[in-house]
Amino acid sequence: MTETISFPPPRERGPLTLEECLRRRRSVRHFRPDPLDLGQIGLLFWSAQGFRSPEGRRTAPSAGALYPLEVYGVTPEHVLHYLPAHHAAEVTLEGDIRKDLCRASLDQEFILEAPFTLVIAAVYRRIEVKYGSRRGPRYVHFEVGHAAQNVHLESVALGLGSVPVGAFHDERVAEVMKLPGDHRPLYLIPIGPPA
């Protein structure tokens, strides 16, 4: 049976305004090893793809409300797959895969150092059903940018640092994380307390 972790409800207000988060947002590549708590991890997941309305509308816009993104988190203990409808995550892998994820990401050491890496993957067929294989990927790429920016700004609001990572071997990241065959990794975001 798959273990599920429930997160505290997302907070309504943070300590910083959006403008303050925008001013403070920068790439951080050195992290302290302090673990993130469940509230922080839940907010980071929620900022990427959380429900913001009872109808299931999410925090990032999606063409046709088709939501092709799947969000994962890598911690020293396990790999988590976010379940937006429940504001929870299922444990998909036990153990620390950060060393292998670092290797699959061209040995960018901050991936090994960060206590949490959020991984955004796409299921292209969800959007191609409506928009086709030529236009659909463009909308997926718009959406991953929206979701990632939300995560970077939420990181600032939580007093954490983050860095965008696009340089990695797609197939190796998918293999290390044991992603389903139709989940294509697009974006990695190492997150943690700045060193």
Mean pLDDT (whole number) for 107-124: 97
**Residues 6+ away with beta carbon under 8 Å from 132:** none
Mean pLDDT (whole number) for 62-90: 97
Task: Report d(CA 43, CA 87) in Å as an integer.
Answer: 9
- How do the domains of the chain map onto residue ranges? 4-192
Name the burial class of residue 10, with classes exposed (0-12), middle (13-18) and buried (19+) by CB atoms within 10 angstroms of its CB: middle
- Asked if the model's pLDDT at residue 56 lies above 90, the reply is no
Residue percentage of the chain with pLDDT more than 90: 95
Tokens 């050195």 sit on residue: 30
Mean pLDDT (whole number) for 8-30: 94
How much is the pLDDT for 2?
Answer: 83
Name the burial class of residue 137, with classes exposed (0-12), middle (13-18) and buried (19+) by CB atoms within 10 angstroms of its CB: middle
CATH of 4-192, one of 3.30.365.10, 2.102.10.10, 3.40.109.10, 1.10.10.60: 3.40.109.10
pLDDT in tens, 118-168: 999 999 999 999 999 999 999 999 999 999 999 999 999 999 999 999 999
Measured torsion, CA atoms of residues 96, 101, 103, 106, in degrees rounded to the nearest 10: -150
Measured torsion, CA atoms of residues 9, 37, 21, 121, in degrees rounded to the nearest 10: -80
Q: What is the pTM of this model?
A: 0.96
Q: Which runs of consecutive H residues, i.e. helices, occur in 105-169? A: 110-113, 124-157
- Asked if the model's pLDDT at residue 109 lies above 80, the reply is yes
What sign for the dihedral angle of Cα 149, 17, 51, 61?
negative
- Asked if the model's pLDDT at residue 1 lies above 80, the reply is no
Q: Assign residue 159 a region (left: φ > 0; alpha: ψ between -120 and 50; beta: otherwise).
A: left
